Amino acid sequence: MIWYQRMKNKNYLKHIKLPEDLKKLKISQLKPLAEEIRKLLLTSVSVTGGHLSSNLGAVELTIALHYVFNSPKDKIVWDVGHQSYVHKILTGRAKSFCTLRKSGGLSGFTRPSESVHDAVVSGHSSTSVSSALGIACARDLRGENFDVVAVIGDGSLTGGLAYEGLNNAASATSRLIVVLNDNEMSISKNVGALSTHLAVLRSNPSYLNVKKEVKKVLDRSQIGRMFARTIGKAKTNLKYLVMPNVFFEEMGFTYVGAVDGHNITELVNALKTCRQFEGPVLLHVKTQKGKGYEKAEKSPEYFHGVERFDLETGEPLYEKGKSFTSVFGETIVSLAEKNDKIVAVTAAMTSGTGLSKFSQKFPDRFFDVGIAEAHAVTFCAGLATQGLKPVFAVYSTFLQRAYDQIIHDVCIANLPVVFAIDRAGIVGADGETHQGVFDLSFLSHIPNMTVFAPKNAAEMRVAFNTAFLMDSPVAVRYPRGCAIDEEYTCDMTEPEIFSDGERIAVVTVGEMFYPALEACEQLNAEGIFPALINVRQVFPISEKLLKILEKFDLIFTVENNTCDGGFGQKLNCAIS
């Protein structure tokens, strides 16, 4: 009682050092705590940038999870991890939250090396169920006793891996709780008062106890078991009529919900109920993206991932130059106006990849396949077999998820699919799970694949124009950030000799030309005059480039990619 009196009319959040402190609060005190956390989210993310909408929508859910479960003994696995900001705040990282996405600061995603409360590394979507099931099965094998909770958004359910995890979880029968954070897509809407009543009734602890006892009695005789099967069939038929969410139960999950994701009392009661089930259970929670910040509520996609912004206006705090992404968006629209065979595909990243204008101007030629990169690539292959010219716009880090499809479905068949690979190279604040530093390495050895790396806006326009004229797979790789906007034409298949030299050559890939140019200018001031060569076509390495490099004794390569398997290593092999 003394603790509560001390907290009265004071900031609740400053007293929450770890999740066990949260449990000292009354349920009625959790609502004002939620508002304090929202204020911290807004003031911090407006300064650091980050994922805002999803975290504003998950405040009450996160509070309820830590109020019911005992982290780190109980494992909470966050899908993607970009909705884990509140989790970080409640697990001892509130004071350092201002360092989010900064060098040496907090990661924008879950990271076990950062906290024992982060169960897994998570930066890509649709992985939580599989990770959580692995943890649950390991727990059972070791004879341990703790809860495992996977939190997954409705968008992540468009990823095939999520269904593989759900299917396996049902057959494994390990005790596992999956929380479906439904904040956008109406997966299955309950119908009418009867449905609501059934959902509430079957979540009642008394109902669960009676159900267990009745099952025990009926299982004792053959007649009882026959009677149970008859009742089961009737119950299933009734559920199909009034509760379309039976989909999850048909997979083997016990379904609970839907619960108001902003009502902490409902959430706490539902989570406590879920703990009583012996097998896999799915709790359906309805939330609103951007909750508590009107601008994010109206434009949740815009505020999904933001740079620094003004809280009053919602506008960015600094003007950006024209980015590679926007140049791509303009270019693809321009090319599609002249070529009606061009179609565009995205994996739930319309705005992020620059396809918003294309989607508005050519809605019949635009396809958002959801968070399903592997499907997107094979879907593009299908489009290409019928004479269309598909472009798949995707972040480099997410294209990794479709490696087999690139090889098997596109390149072996030598189909004219264009890959617009955004965020290639180091992307900065999003951390290690989002760095696009592997694409040159994993694309370089695939037969029939051509890779272009434009250094600026002019070369980018030419690269895509060239790509759509080719009858084979083409990848155009470009970084996050501003593109130097110049106007000229060139041949992307030919290397550019920017400056000649005699003994030393500096060979650059894409935007790395400009820092290399600065380095060469500094060398020039010291009396050293290396040749500066922009490759443009990274793979296959052109015979003309190899011929040019024959006269040099020292060759330096500059690329925004891991060294292992990258352009430098491939060039070294080619000239050895």
Distance separating alpha carbons of residues 66 and 40, to the nearest angstrom: 18
If you ran DSSP here, which 8-state letter would residue 407 be given?
I
User: Active-site positions?
Assistant: 289, 373, 401
- Give the β-pairing of 450-452 and 537-539: antiparallel
Identify the sign of the CA torsion 107, 308, 158, 242.
positive
To which residue do tokens 């077999």 refer?
385
Distance separating alpha carbons of residues 488 and 458, to the nearest angstrom: 6
Cis bond upstream, residue 540 (ω within 30): yes
Cα–Cα distances (Å) from 293 to 33, 43, 318, in that order, read 16, 11, 21
- Find, among 135, 90, 93, 136, the residue nearest to 114 by Cα: 93
The answer to whether 108 and 50 have CB atoms below 8 angstroms apart is yes
How many other β-carbons are positioned within 10 Å of the β-carbon of residue 480? 21
The answer to whether 276 and 210 have CB atoms below 8 angstroms apart is no
- Find, among 245, 221, 205, 276, the residue nearest to 229 by Cα: 221
Identify the sign of the CA torsion 73, 182, 204, 210.
negative
Distance separating alpha carbons of residues 167 and 133, to the nearest angstrom: 11
Amino acid identity at 251? M
- Find, among 490, 481, 438, the residue nearest to 461 by Cα: 490
Distance separating alpha carbons of residues 524 and 306, to the nearest angstrom: 41
Distance separating alpha carbons of residues 422 and 472, to the nearest angstrom: 20
Distance separating alpha carbons of residues 447 and 12, to the nearest angstrom: 60
